[in-house]
Amino acid sequence: MTSAVSSTDPAMVDHKSLYAYLSTLPSSLLENLYRHPNPSLCMAIFRDLTPMAQKFVLRQLFIEQILPKSVFTSWITPEGKKDYDDAVRLLNDLKIWSEAPSTAGLMGWKLNEHFRKGIQAIVVGGGPSWSGDDQPTAEETTPKDIPFIQNYARERWDVVLHFLAGLSGASQISRDTVEVLTNAGLIRGSNSTESGITQNGFRFLLMDTPSQVWRFILAYLHTVPKWGMDLIECISFIFQLSFSQIGKHYSTIGFSSNQLRTLQHFREYGLIYMRSKKSSRYYPTNLVVNLSAGAGLNTSAFSEGYIIVETNYRIMVYTDSPLKIAVVSYFSDMLYRFPNLALGMITRESIRRALMKGISTDEIIKFLRMHAHPQMRENNPVLPSTLTDQIKLWEMERERCVFADGVLYNNFLSQKDFEMLRNYASDLGVAMCSNAANKVVVVSPEGHDQVRAFWKRQKKE
């Protein structure tokens, strides 16, 4: 007599920064990370802690005994209570310290010993250099300049995006890259009966470049163990790249097989540049520098202004890039195509198509604002309010119906049975809706067990 009604909406796993991702790792993996022979990894994590968290670490750095919690609270003012709570939570999440009894018997905070030694080595000196051999080899007597590296990074990353968008003539990518895209939920697997881009894939293409790279790297880190690679080495290499400099080349001497494989993967994505696969030097690109900042990185350096929208909903795309035009066509009807210009209209139907793809109006408006032409950026607001309001209204039309999970009770033998179960569910506060004419009741999944048990008792009586 009951049947389940469910609705799911998959969403991409999203951590705003590398540190938010690290806090989800098991304690054993974090312990191995802090135990890494290069103490600069601990320093990389320390640099992005909150100021108060940094102060707590430094004040404990050369104190062997465990300090009671009351000592830490005595260092802050009442106005700093929130910063204190945030610092404690951050240090706990990253397993940088843990609760332990002090010599006085009071509970205190104990600094992770491996993390302590790593920071001590940085403060007093010691530890290997990240850059390895700084002496240029014969192949780097004429190093590549920054514009060349930035252009290379953009071209390689566009190859990944072209494949994701399914554009005709797109270059093929490696099997490993396809696996990362699949694990990220951006495309359906090649063995699926409905291969191609997913709802998350459409949303991914509308993001700014740093957010795209960050979410891709998260998926890469989730895929690494499946390849039999060491996750700690991959994370440490990302830290190393994140704090490197654009335009400077680094040595691969001493790299493990895992790091060399990661290097080749990143070369394919445009995160690093190498003259050849066997080159002993590599250049970090603008896509990977400051990667540890995650999705919160300033995107102004990556934004290109090529879109103009008018109050009559006409959109002009000043580009010859098939990828950019394809992305704009997700939420507009493209009408005309010229060598360096495409014209279209944002309509009710085009917005509804975008919503059906899983793209929200907030993402559309953010995309338009992010890629607005320099002439539009002189306006305040950048986008016409008539356009943004209308896009929101079209979304509200579609959201008049709200979907929720529920359990359906029907096929009652009498009106009395229907009313008895409906009243019981209403008294419990788990009745979602009912219809007396058709004698059906829908209850929430949380109340299903209680209602079912009640109905079984009534039938026995």
172: DSSP letter: P
Round to whole Å and give the CA distance between 359 and 351: 9
Residues 152, 270: contact at Cβ < 8 Å?
A: yes
pLDDT tens across the length of the chain (461 residues): 444 333 333 334 456 677 778 888 888 888 888 888 777 788 888 888 889 999 999 999 998 889 899 899 999 888 989 999 999 999 999 999 999 988 777 899 999 999 999 899 888 876 666 555 555 555 566 788 899 999 999 999 999 999 998 887 667 789 999 999 998 889 886 554 445 788 899 999 998 888 899 899 999 999 999 999 999 889 888 888 877 888 888 888 888 888 899 999 999 999 999 988 888 889 999 888 867 655 555 555 556 789 999 999 999 999 999 999 999 999 999 999 999 999 999 999 999 999 988 899 999 999 999 999 999 999 889 999 999 999 999 998 877 777 788 999 998 888 988 999 999 999 988 999 899 889 999 999 999 999 999 988 888 77
pTM for this prediction = 0.74
Angle between helices 385-398 and 361-370 (to 10 degrees): 160
Residues 286, 156: Cα–Cα separation, whole Å? 12
Give the Cα separation of 443 and 428 in Å (integer).
10
**101 CB contacts (<8 Å, ≥6 apart)?**
66, 107, 108
Count Cβ atoms below 10 Å from residue 416 Cβ, excluding itself: 9
If one counts every other C-beta atom within 10 angstroms of the C-beta of residue 292, the result is 22
| CA dist., res. 77 & res. 100, Å (int) | 24
Q: In this structure, are residues 48 and 19 in contact, taking their beta carbons and an 8 Å threshold? A: yes
Q: What is the rounded distance in angstroms from the CA atom of residue 341 to the CA atom of residue 321?
A: 10
Asked if 116 and 61 touch (Cβ cutoff 8 Å), the reply is: yes
Residues in CB range of 380: below 8 A, 6 or more apart: none
Report the 10 Å Cβ neighbour count for 449. 12
Q: Which of 104, 94, 27, 123 is nearest to 65 (CA)?
A: 104
Rounded distance, CA 129 to CA 43, Å?
Answer: 12
- How does DSSP assign 322-353, residue by residue? HHHHHHHTTSSEEEEEETTEEEEE--HHHHHH
130 contacts 36 by C-beta, under 8 angstroms: no
Residue 424 near residue 391, CB atoms below 8 Å: no
Residues in the chain: 461
